[in-house]
Chain A
Amino acid sequence: MIDDETLHMYVDEAREHLEDIEANLLEVEQAGDDFDSDQVNKVFRAAHSMKGGAGFLGLTNIKELAHKIENVLDMVRNYELSPTPDIVNIVLLAFDRLSELVDKVTESNEMEIDEHIQALTAVTSNNLPNDEKDSVSREVEIADKTGRNVMTISELDFNQARKGGNYIYLLEFDLIHDVQRKDKKPLDLIKEMQSTGNIMEVKVDLQSVGSLDDEPSNILPMYMLFSTIIEPDIITTFLDMEQERVLPIEDKSAEKEAVSEEKSGAGQGQSSESIDETIDKSDSAPDLPPSESNAGKVEPESEKVPEKKNGPGETVSKEISKPEKPVKGKSKKAAKEKAGESSGASAVQSESLRVQVSLLENLMNLAGELVLSRNQLMQSVSVKDNRAVESSAQRIDLVTSELQEAIMLTRMQPV
C-alpha cells in the first residue's frame, strides 16, 4: 500500500519541479531557435522525474500527461522541433494542468486531461519528419517466439519507447503460475513493473480461461509489452522469470525504411511488420561482458545529433561499454538523416566516444546514490519495515530516472 507520507513526498518534490518551469520555458520561447538546450533539458528532466514517481504511485493521469510533455520537449532538445510561441503555450498549459493534478493528487486519476493530451500529441505528430508522421497511425505487430502475432501498438509509441535507451521486451506471464503460486498479488506485480519501466501494452488471453462451465482454468496467460532500461542479460533475474518467457523485441524501423521501399510491391500491403527478432541479431551485442575493453561493440547512437564534435579542453576520450547500452536498432531519425543508408552500415559507427568529465562524474555520483538506496532497501526488507521499504523504493526510482537521463546525456554531443 502506498502510504500518505510517500504520496506527500512525491507531491512536495513535484511542486519543486514545477516551480521553475514557467520561467524556463518563457526564456526558451524568447530565445527562439537560439534557445539554450540546457534549459530545455531542465524542464525535460522535471517532466521526466514527475513521470517516474507517478508511475510508482499509480498516478496514471499524471504519468501520462508528463509523458506527453516529455515527448514534445525531447523533440525540442533534439532540434527536431522549434519552440514557437504556440508550442510553448501548449506545453505551459499542460504543465498548468499537471500542477492542478498534483494539487489534487488523490483525485488526479479521475480528472480530465484529454484536451491536453490531444494538443501535445498533435504537436509531436505534426512535427515529425514526414516519414515519421505516419508512425502515429501505423502499427507495429508484436509477435511471440513462434511468430504468432500477439498484439499491435502504434509505431510512434514503439519508437519513442526505444529512444530513451530502453529495451523492449514481450513478457509472457501466467497469472496463475507466476503470481498465485508464488504467493504474489497481481496488483503488486503490476506495480513492480510500473516502477521499473513502462507497461506499453497488455493482452490477456481470455479464451484460454474458458467459461464458467469449464473446470477452473489453471492457466491465465497475459502478455505484456514492457520497456525498461534493464538490460537483456539481467532482465530474467530481475523479473524472476524464465528465459523463454522473456522476448527482447528488436527495432527494425531503420531496416524497414530501406526494405519497405523494395517490398512495397511485394504484398506487404500494410505498413505493419512482424517484429520478433531475438537477441542473436548480428547488429547488437547484449551479451557483452561488462569489461571496458569491449568497446568494439559500442554503438554510440547518433539519433540525437549526427556530428560528434569534441568540446574543448575537458573532454576525455573514454571507451564506455556498459553505460552505453548498445541499442539494438536505429531510430527513424537516424535512418532518415543518413538517407537510405542501410542499417548494416550504421550498426557500428565508431568504437569510442568523447564525453565530458563532468558528465562522467555525475554518472558516478548517481551510481553511488543508487548503491546507497539499494542498501537501504535491502535493510528495510530484512527488518520488514514497510515504510522504510517504500521510501527507499521511491528513492531508487528517482535516482534511476536521473541515471537514465545522465546516460542519455552522455550520447548527446554539442553541435
Chain B
Amino acid sequence: MSEEVYLEMPENIVSTATEDIKAELIRALENDPPALALDLEKTRYVDSMGIGVLIAAFNSCHKKQIEFKLLNVDKEVYELFTTMRLDQHFPIQPKEKG
C-alpha cells in the first residue's frame, strides 16, 4: 500500500474548483503514501485560492512527512511559483521542452 500517489491537476486550479481539488487531495493522502506527486501538465492557470490549496496540500504532507512535489509545470505557472519562492519549500519540475 506504500506507493507514491500521482494526481493529475486540471487546467484551472482556481477558486471554483478548489473544493473538488481539495477533496481529491484529502482522499489521496488517506492511506499515508510515501509521496504525493501532482502533475500540472494540463494546468494553465492558478489563482490565489489555487495557490492556497496547493500550499495547504504541502502543509498536510509536511505534517505527515509525506514527500510533496509538482511535475510538468507550465512555463507561466512555473514562473509564478518560483517568483513566490515556493520551490524553496518543495520540488517543482518545469515542463520538459518538447
Contacts and interface: CB of A to CB of B under 8 A. Distances in A.
Contacts of A109: 75
Contact of A220 (B46, B51, B77, B80): B51
Contact of A216 (B56, B60, B94): B56
Interface residues of B, number: 33
Contacts of B46: 186
Contact of B89 (A58, A175, A206): A206
Contacts of B52: 175-176, 209, 216-217, 220
Contact of A207 (B29, B48, B59): B59
Interface string B24-36: 0110010000000
Contacts of B59: 206-207, 209-212
A204 to B, nearest CB: 5
A176 B26 contact: no
Interface string A212-237: 11101100101000000000000000
B48 A220 contact: yes
Interface string B77-98: 1011001111001000010010
Contacts of B89: 206
A185 B18 CA distance: 16
A180 interface: yes
Interface in A156-200: 175-176, 179-180, 185-187, 190, 194, 199
Given A187-B76, A202-B84, A212-B26, A107 B97 contact: yes
Contact of B55 (A60, A186, A199, A209): A209
A110 interface: yes
B69 interface: no
Interface string A48-70: 00000000001010000000000
A310 to B, nearest CB: 45
Nearest to B82: A60
Nearest to B77: A187
B83 A175 contact: no
B63 to A, nearest CB: 6
A263 interface: no
B49 interface: yes
Contact of B56 (A60, A204, A214): A214
Contact of A211 (B18, B48, B60, B85): B60
Contact of A175 (B22, B48, B58, B76): B48
Contact of A186 (B18, B26, B48, B56): B48
A186 B51 contact: yes
A85 to B, nearest CB: 37
A204 B85 contact: yes
A145 interface: no
A8 interface: no
A217 B18 CA distance: 12
B94 A175 contact: no
B48 A212 contact: no
B53 interface: yes
B57 interface: yes
Which of B25, B52, B79, B94: most chain A CB closer than 10 A? Answer: B52
B43 interface: no
A186 B47 contact: yes
A54 to B, nearest CB: 13
A173 to B, nearest CB: 10
A76 B76 CA distance: 36
A203 interface: yes
A180 B48 contact: yes
A166 to B, nearest CB: 19
A179 B85 contact: no
A6 to B, nearest CB: 15
Interface string B1-37: 0000000000000010010001001100100000000
A366 B80 CA distance: 32
Contacts of A187: 76-77, 79-80
10 contacts: A175-B48, A176-B48, A202-B85, A204-B55, A204-B85, A206-B55, A211-B57, A216-B22, A216-B56, A220-B52
Interface of A: 58, 60, 107, 109-110, 175-176, 179-180, 185-187, 190, 194, 199, 201-204, 206-207, 209-214, 216-217, 220, 222
Given A201-B85, A206-B55, A211-B60, 13 more contacts: A60-B79, A175-B51, A186-B47, A202-B84, A203-B85, A209-B59, A211-B57, A211-B63, A213-B26, A216-B18, A216-B56, A217-B56, A220-B52
**Closest 4 pairs between A and B when the two form their complex, measured CB to CB:** A211-B60, A180-B48, A175-B48, A211-B59
